[in-house]
Amino acid sequence: MPLPHLYSGKVRDIFEVPGDMLLFVASDRISAFDVVMAETIPDKGRVLTAMTTYWLEDLAGVAPSHLVTADPAQLPTDAQGMTDLAGRAMLVRRAEMLPLECIVRGYLAGSGWKEYASSGTLHGSSLPPGLQESDRLPEPLFTPSTKATAGHDENITVDQAADIVGGDVVKQAAEMSLAVYRKGADLAAQRGIIIADTKFELGWIDGVLALCDEVLTPDSSRFWDADTYKPGATPPSFDKQPVRDWAEATGWDKQPPAPSLPGDVIDASRRRYVEAYERLTGLPFSQWAGVEGT
């Protein structure tokens, strides 16, 4: 019988699996400005799953995770008949999730840059004066935010995060998040990619804090090409940048429904996702499960 469906987000669908486990399935859905587009980006879900699997295996010595397997042959029997599942699905252990987004910033970008430009702070902490947009920070910083059930997440201070989950938990979450970011950023740098910032989801499994959901993907991180990086502006990123750029150029008011994505924007987005995976992992995406020809 079909697996019980628990939740659908902008990208992922989650199903319940016997044995206190879950099946995470990454779709090809794409959103811009918090609005899900009608069109999809082919294989985007496979890129997110392939990259997350790569990182969780590579970072196993730094932090435990919820991953059991992404091998299609080892998925639950009740999932075998689900359409277009190969390469998109991860069998994971159920976790008690922290009600925080565990963000690490290595560079001054996005909402962090906006805050600094107006107040000289980042999540309430003072930074040196004179920094430019996209400048590298003196050291990576743990900058949590709330998890909004509706609307946007809200940037908060570490002390505010401690009020939510407790000081000891925030300290543990910060240490894990920073360790994972540093290891991932170092590896990416060797392959010509800057990880400017990233967002982690952490949860408790049998009393141990673990990495959950996607990890160091183009959807959860800001990836920049090291060869073209220059502070003082926003570098192009390896994600849905073509979709955002196109949407901005149309004059769309960023309210649903979204305008229809043209084919060249869809193709350009797919290429950027695939390039991010291949450059970071050194592996051909064509060999990942479910990709056409595999």
DSSP assignment of 78-109: GGTTSTT-TTTEEEEE--EE-SEEEEEEEE--
Segment 266-276, tens digit of pLDDT = 999 999 999 99
The predicted structure's pLDDT at residue 237: 87
* pLDDT cut 70: percent of the chain above it: 98
The radius of gyration of the chain's CA atoms, rounded to the nearest angstrom, is 19
Domain final position from 76, 94, 112: 94
Distance CA 244, CA 261 (A): 11
In this structure, are 178 and 191 located in the same domain?
A: yes
Domain final position from 194, 225, 256: 225
* pLDDT cut 90: percent of the chain above it: 82
Exposure of 266 in the CB half-sphere (CA atoms within 13 A): 14
The predicted structure's pLDDT at residue 245: 84
Is 243 within a domain? no
Task: Average the pLDDT over 140-166 and give the result.
Answer: 88
For residue 150, name the pLDDT band (cuts at 50, 70, 90): low
The predicted structure's pLDDT at residue 53: 98
Is 52 within a domain? yes
Distance CA 257, CA 167 (A): 42
What pTM did the predictor assign?
0.93
Domain of 194? Answer: 97-225
In this structure, are 119 and 150 located in the same domain?
A: yes
For residue 146, name the pLDDT band (cuts at 50, 70, 90): very high
Is 249 within a domain? no
Is 279 within a domain? no
Is 141 within a domain? yes
Domains in the chain, number: 2
Distance CA 113, CA 120 (A): 9
For residue 293, name the pLDDT band (cuts at 50, 70, 90): low
The predicted structure's pLDDT at residue 83: 82
The predicted structure's pLDDT at residue 2: 82
**pLDDT above 90 for 82:** no
**pLDDT above 60 for 294:** no
Cis peptide, bond prior to residue 259, ω within 30 of zero: no
Segment 97-115, tens digit of pLDDT = 999 999 999 999 988 999 9
Task: Average the pLDDT over 171-193 and give the result.
Answer: 97
The predicted structure's pLDDT at residue 119: 95
Is 291 within a domain? no
